[in-house]
């Protein structure tokens, strides 16, 4: 992916479903910093530490399942 950035074929690199430890590892050797992280993000899974870390590192965050997955109801994590 970094090679594609170097060749001008893509502008940015994105990552998905990674935690702080994995992002730290990537940042320790990456030549091109990831521009965006996509993670599950909704009221039942706010991921505050991950959001704070990404903000500090200048990595944008986009969320999926932003209304929560229906499975949260099935396993009793959703509250009324």
Q: Quote the CA–CA distance of 75 and 62 in Å, as a whole number.
A: 25
Within-domain flag for 80: no
CA distance 3 to 6: 5
34: in domain:
yes
1 located within any domain: no
- Provide the number of structural domains found in the chain: 1
Q: Does 5 fall in a domain?
A: no
Its domain, for residue 40, covers 12-74
pLDDT in tens, 8-67: 999 999 999 999 999 999 999 999 999 999 999 988 889 999 999 999 999 999 998 867
On whether residue 4 sits in a domain, the answer given is: no
Q: Whole-model pTM?
A: 0.80
Distance CA 25, CA 43 (A): 28
């Amino acid at each position: 992916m970094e090679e594609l950035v170097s060749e001008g074929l893509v502008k940015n690199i994105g990552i998905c479903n990674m935690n702080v430890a994995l992002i730290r590892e990537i940042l320790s050797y990456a030549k091109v910093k990831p521009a965006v992280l996509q993670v599950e993000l909704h009221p039942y899974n706010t991921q505050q530490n991950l959001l704070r870390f990404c903000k500090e590192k200048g990595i944008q965050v986009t969320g999926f399942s932003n209304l929560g997955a229906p499975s949260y109801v099935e396993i009793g994590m959703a509250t009324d």
